[in-house]
Amino acid sequence: MKPTRVILLLVLVFIISLSGRAQVNAQDKLPAEVEVIVKMKLEEGQEKLSSLGYEICSSSFMGKKQDWFNESIQTCVTIRFDRKTKEITEVLLNPETAVCQKGLEASRKLWENYHDGQAPVNSQKIEEERKKLTDQGYIVSYWVNEVSPGRCAEYWVNETTQKVMVIVWEIKGNVWVMTNSSTYSMGDNPAPKRTN
């Protein structure tokens, strides 16, 4: 091989390796629009991440951190927050994109069971329970398919009294099981709203 070709080949390899490093470094950097959520309240930071196309893909058992994944740009970030103040204390790039992707898929599968509004179920007893709640000022919020094995639940909210009631029934035969109170925080559908 002529020296000119060898030099040209070496220069080409050098340029390719630099561009490869630049791509890796760009992927290793936390997006600037995500960095701004540090010191935000958790709910505000979550809304910001959602607006940027991120979806929650895991949450720690102790409730101090969450992983969020943006599927379109294949980026995963971990947010840490103070449990008492609900303030985001740190945002880190999470290099485990494959784990985040799997977490997102599992999360989506779970949230597929949550539906806004009234369940498409009719039975005399369930209708009686719905009427009682309506007469007491409750409005249906959402329902969950398979809230527990073989059972569905419908959540009703009374904003005036700030109370929540839950109608539970067996999936097989739509047999009413119980109507019970729940915490007010359960009044809103917890499933993330999909922006796409």
User: What tens-digit pLDDT sequence spans the chain (196 residues)?
Assistant: 554 443 444 444 444 444 343 333 345 789 999 999 999 999 899 999 999 999 999 988 777 999 999 999 999 999 999 988 989 999 999 999 999 999 999 888 888 899 999 999 989 999 999 999 999 999 999 999 988 899 999 999 999 999 999 999 999 999 999 999 999 988 888 886 654 4
pLDDT at residue 98, as a whole number? 95
Cα Rg of the chain (Å, integer): 25
Helix/strand/coil percent split, the chain, to 5:
35, 35, 30
pLDDT at residue 194, as a whole number? 57
> Nearest-CA neighbor of 138 among 162, 123, 155, 156?
156
The answer to whether 189 and 114 have CB atoms below 8 angstroms apart is yes
Measured CA distances, 114 to 55, 127, 140, 149, 170 (Å): 16, 20, 13, 15, 16
Q: Which helix (H) or strand (E) holds 68?
A: strand 65-70
Domains and their CATH numbers in the chain? 30-111 (no CATH), 114-187 (3.10.450)
Reported pTM? 0.58
